[in-house]
Amino acid sequence: MTLLHTIALLGVAVFAISGALAAGRRHFDLLGVVVIALVTALVTATGGGTLRDILLDRHPVFWIKDTTYIYVSLIAALLTVVYARWRHPPARLILIADALGLALFSISGAQIAEHAGHGGIVAIIMGTLTGAAGGVLRDMMCAEVPLILRRGRIYATAAIVGIAIYLLLQLVIDRTLAALLGMACIAALRLGAIFWNWTLPVFSLPGDKDEQ
């Protein structure tokens, strides 16, 4: 479980960074904005895992059981705010931090669903929820269209594909290696979508032109 713990702490940290940046959008001059950045970072970092724990009836919820997660979120958010005031971060940093958070939490969410005795479709759904819910909450708090719902963009698809690859690979190779490959796959798909504008293929059927 140590690797899973490290991965969860890393996931919390990168999601906290994305939350703090999204809340602040480079203006951190008011103490109030710092408070909002910390609140948003905390919600982003813990949202997915909290939903997973409640759905799987795992109590106490992870951040109540181990408050390290809270402190890691707050410290990551605070460092982000300080850094963002000193030198403004590239606009894509939110998306990159989000991509890493998605990769880390999707696979760890799927693994926790497996630990709880579920597999296949439930592991895929629970992993996707764990990975995506924090970002959805962050985007809702910042009144943005959630990344998961932007058309043509690879988001849920990246999580679903990566988890499926992890589930298949672990049948033939070492579980830890399968998890790392699954994460790499999710991160690669999302980063490709961010940097090279990858989209999902258009498919058309006869008669498409008739509709609008």
Q: Which residues would be at the binding site for a second copy (CB under 8 A)?
A: 26-27, 29-33, 35-36, 39, 42, 50, 54-57, 59-61, 64, 67, 70-71, 85-86, 88, 118, 120-122, 125, 128, 140-143, 145-146, 148-149, 151-154, 156-157, 160, 199-205, 207-208, 211-212
Nearer to a second copy, 59 or 92 (CB): 59
Q: What are phi and psi for residue 169, nearest 5 degrees?
A: -60, -35
Q: What are phi and psi for residue 91, nearest 5 degrees?
A: -55, -30
Nearer to a second copy, 90 or 207 (CB): 207
Cα dist from 194 to 25, 86, 92, 147, whole Å: 18, 25, 8, 11
Nearer to a second copy, 106 or 128 (CB): 128
Residue 211 Cβ, how far from a second copy at the closest point, in Å?
A: 5
Residue 94 Cβ, how far from a second copy at the closest point, in Å?
A: 17
24 Cβ contact partners less than 8 Å away, ≥ 6 residues apart? 33, 34, 36, 37, 81, 84
- Coil vs helix vs strand at 199: strand
Residue 88 Cβ, how far from a second copy at the closest point, in Å?
A: 5
Residue 177 Cβ, how far from a second copy at the closest point, in Å?
A: 27
Nearer to a second copy, 42 or 107 (CB): 42
Q: Confirm if 115 and 163 have CB atoms less than 8 A apart.
A: no
Residue 106 Cβ, how far from a second copy at the closest point, in Å?
A: 13
- Coil vs helix vs strand at 155: coil
Cα Dmax for the chain: 58
